[in-house]
Structure 1
Amino acid sequence: MAQKQMVTTTINGEEATFICEPRQSLLEVLREDLGLTGTKEGCSNGNCGACSVILDGVLVDSCLVLAVETEGKAVDTIEGVAGPAELHPLQQKFLEHAALQCGICTPGIIIAAKALLEKNPNPTEHDARLWLAGNLCRCTGYDKIIRAVLDAAETMGAKA
């Protein structure tokens, strides 16, 4: 039996230390140990994107990342997207475009869209559809989601 390990990482801009077993996924630690339940568990095998987080600037499925792999790295979850007084433009545009329904996929899609806009602040519709292809939604359909992402990109570009 492997010993538990202490991990120190940065989560949503704040240093966090936790103890986990070497086999625990980042998703499991975020939800069960750290109480960050915005990251959702969908498929547990990397196919749905509901558990998407940004790890050192790279979009990843947290169900496929071992928590011990985050030692010394930065993790951004849905809880860190909004500012203290207002929603992030992506969140606001998802509301305005009715681009969410049940809420299982939405956090992962917003995180994926945030990663897209950080890499490509002016995506085309094709870029957005390709980038979000790893995030599955069974409730709303993708047109509203894509419109929300492109509108957020325009809004964020106008602020820059």
Structure 2
Amino acid sequence: MFGCSRKAPFIHQRLYDIYLPACIQDSFAVSAAYCTKTSATEDMVFRTFESKVGLLVQQDYKEANLQELLAALQALILFHIIQLFDGDIRQRSLAEQNMDTLRAWTVQLKVRATELPPPFTWQEWIFEESVRRTVIFSLMLDGLFSTLKKGYCSNVKGLNILPFASKI
């Protein structure tokens, strides 16, 4: 998990070397707190978690630049992983309420990324690859959760258009 190891398969380890967005800082801090929670701290961790998720999904990323949208979606995915699979029914319910936001941001990121010019620098490649991995991971998370919950994948159309090629 991101907070325990500072790694996530959809976030390139060099992506935030230059600029670390607040939502990524929040997701790291909350993930780290989650990794070290005890029965005595669980309530505080989940209250902090809910607060940070609430602040994140209240933001309007329609006019945000692509870097901000990517960071917001990555943070939301990290929060979703914990909320959906922790086993706490309240957390799962809250994540399910934000599933439409996750889907909308994923589609928005995928569509807007098609306008990117071919990467010229290493940092541009890292960014484009992070976008691709994030879109894939988000759609797969959505598909996995629907399969576990309903017994079938309700996101086949989205999974069918996954950007496995190097260009979104």
TM-score (structure 2 length as normaliser)? 0.28
- From the two aligned structures, give the one with the greater strand fraction: 1
- From the two aligned structures, give the one with the greater helix fraction: 2
TM-score (structure 1 length as normaliser)? 0.29
